[in-house]
Chain A
Amino acid sequence: MYQYDEFDRAFISERNRQFRAQVARRIDGSLTEEEFRPLRLMNGLYLQLHAYMLRVAIPYGTLNSAQLRQLAMIATRWDKGYGHFTTRQNIQYNWPRLNDVPDILDALAEVGLHAIQTSGNTIRNVTSDQFAAAAADEIEDPRPYAELIRQWSTDHPEFQFLPRKFKIAITGSPNDRTVTKAHDIGLRMVRQGHETGFEVIVGGGLGRTPMIGKVIRDFLPVSDLLPYLEAIVGTYNLLGRRDNKYKARIKITVHENGLETVRDLVEAQFRKIAPQFDEAATAQHLAQLKQQFAAPDLPPRRDTRYHDARRADGVFRAWADTNLHPHRVAGYSIVTISLKPHGGTPGDATDAQMTLIADLADRYAQGEIRVSHEQNLVLPHVALDDLPALHQALRKAGLATANVGLASDIIACPGMDYCALATARSIPVAQEIAQHVDALKLEHDIGPLKIKISGCINACGHHHVGHIGILGLDRAGVENYQITLGGDGTEDAVIGTRTGPGFAYDQIVPAIERILRTYLALRHDRAETFLQAYCRLGATPFKSALYETEQVHAA
């Protein structure tokens, strides 16, 4: 894993010193809120519905055990004993006091973490595959490139006041687990002959005007990565609209100007600036980064205990069936720790849970933890024979829910329980759906299903790419929930289609159940997933189930 160098440490320390002074000046009245607000946002500090919220970047979703332990300590000491992992692979603290935030930032710096550029119209935390360096299907670990991008984009003088925020996702696998096509820039690693490069996707995004990204360059050699990114962001910085906040994202720039025009401008800019980049120095730096991310040496292990436990323990088997993913090394597995206990808040972990997971990572998983955009934690390198013991330890802490990829593994944004922008609540809808499918014992029968909930049109909950998406709105002073179906966040990304009128808060769970029962009734067999069945059947039977029942009740 990457370790901060002198430059990183000095930069973070200086920024923290500045922010401490800014907070002091705000509290003593020297700064007005108008003056202070942009300063606190540059450091990830929001004011939400009930309190301040501090958003801490977890670079490309990778943590070491010391960092996770420190995140737990912060939750204990300065918050309410928990943290919330987000769809941006960040962690949010929902209850910090303004005068404690400088101390929190110093505590983060001790373990090489910060909250810089987690807000504002800048390049945000680069997100990546939570299975990086472990997945069997991976071409190459994307994180050295993600770290290179982090260094290039952090405090980049030209890109501190972009027309709007800017999100980059990078994956090294053909199976896209990072929703690259819904980012301002998506980078998908590809091979051309023996050379590794990137397919560069631009102009994706969810929110008010959801768009699937378009390929602007089908093969970008690794050596051109930084100048090409700088050409894209520089072009957007000049061309992107600043007259209308809702038309300011690069997806609109690409849509309004056309991909060809944007590509021509980017390529011209790229040719102009590429000579200014020291290709040899970047290559050398990248080689050093790759060493820091070198995959751990995983000694050969037996798998007898694993298979014995599968035979003997049905609970373990159910968990292993849903929460494991194939590792590139035989005898090992990738473990997803579900932060979605039925009825819990998606993405929340208590301080005790975080500390336990850090300890388990040290004991069983090379000290590494990942955060997934689906709001779960991941232990990337666990020997199969250690899984029964790991499962036992997780179970005692309420962390062994066997539901990864199933109906109750729901993404939900904080919604109106916390967020000042939200138009309706998300969390209790997720809680109730999860409890309901659990009570009906339906989710293992239903199989792979992605339900995603956003509490406003900004779509932090990725509802557009959920197989079932739920969007909470304020309709004439009442919470109302619209449903979209058929969305897909993988490499074959699709924006879901709205079914029709929304449902009241107390009607949304029954509506979701009608969709699930329709699928169960109409699928060919268990092998046909919800998404496959929806693609075959179209929206009609689901709409009938959703709306005709209502009319019967009304009549």
Chain B
Amino acid sequence: MKQKSLVKVITANSLIEGDVVWLAQDGSWTDSLYNALAYADPEQAQAALEQANKRQSEVVGCYLADMHLGPEGLEPAHFREDFRRRGPSNYAHGKQAQG
């Protein structure tokens, strides 16, 4: 089986809504993991995180999350990130409700 490569994305919660966002290619915050910018180089990711952390008027609590980069795109390496991109399991609220 072909090994999926591990990459990092920058994620946070938006300041007003509190919903999960990821840093996108164009430097904006996206509400879809699909549009997140993946960093293969950990040092580059760390440097980008430090920059993202300065954007306090947009987001709260930036951190690096591990993702697998497979043929389908980014897939969370950990179930916590999987829940963050989807929403709670008891109601169709959060990301999953946005379709």
Contact = CB atoms under 8 A, between A and B. Distances in A.
A287 interface: no
Interface string B71-99: 00000011110011001111101110000
B74 to A, nearest CB: 17
Interface string A30-42: 0011000000000
Contact of A345 (B78, B84, B90): B90
Interface in A73-104: 80, 94-99
Contact of B57 (A29, A51, A52, A97): A29
A478 interface: yes
Contact of A50 (B16, B18, B77, B78): B18
Q: Is the interface of B mostly helix, strand, loop or mixed?
A: loop
Given A80-B93, A97-B18, A47 B80 contact: no
A478 B79 contact: yes
Nearest to B54: A32
B68 to A, nearest CB: 12
A417 B15 contact: no
B84 A97 contact: no
Residue of A33, A80, A99 with most chain B CB atoms under a 10 A cut-off = A33
B56 A29 contact: yes
A27 interface: yes
Interface string A429-464: 001000000000000000000000000000000000
A299 interface: no
A10 interface: no
A425 interface: yes
Contacts of B24: none
A20 to B, nearest CB: 15
Nearest to B61: A47
Interface string B39-72: 0000000000000000011001100000000000
B93 A99 contact: no
Given A33-B56, A33-B60, A477-B79, A50 B88 contact: yes
A48 B93 CA distance: 14
A47 B18 contact: yes
B79 A479 contact: yes
Nearest to B57: A29
Contacts of B61: 33, 47
Interface string A88-129: 000000111111000000000000000000000000000000
A51 B15 contact: no
B90 A51 contact: no
B17 A51 contact: yes
A26 B58 CA distance: 10
Nearest to A35: B56
Nearest to A32: B56
Contacts of A431: 90
Interface string A18-32: 000000001111001
B20 interface: yes
Nearest to B17: A97
Contact of A27 (B16, B78, B80): B16
Contact of B77 (A26, A32, A95, A477): A477
A535 interface: no
Nearest to A348: B90
B78 A477 contact: yes
Interface string A320-356: 0000000000000000000000000100100000000
A477 B93 CA distance: 24
Given A417-B83, A477-B77, A50 B20 contact: yes
A418 interface: yes
A428 B87 contact: no
B76 to A, nearest CB: 10
A425 B87 CA distance: 12
Interface string A52-89: 10000000000000000000000000001000000000
B92 to A, nearest CB: 10
Given A33-B61, A98-B16, A51 B94 contact: yes
A268 interface: no
Contacts of A428: 89-90
19 contacts: A26-B15, A27-B57, A33-B61, A49-B20, A50-B19, A50-B95, A51-B17, A52-B18, A80-B91, A94-B88, A98-B15, A98-B18, A348-B90, A417-B83, A418-B88, A425-B83, A428-B89, A477-B77, A478-B79
List 9 A-B pairs, minimum CB-CB distance, nearest first: A417-B88, A51-B18, A52-B18, A29-B57, A50-B94, A345-B90, A427-B90, A428-B89, A98-B16
Interface of B: 13, 15-20, 56-57, 60-61, 77-80, 83-84, 87-91, 93-95
Given A28-B57, A29-B56, A33-B56, 9 more contacts: A49-B80, A50-B20, A50-B84, A50-B88, A51-B17, A97-B17, A427-B89, A474-B80, A477-B78
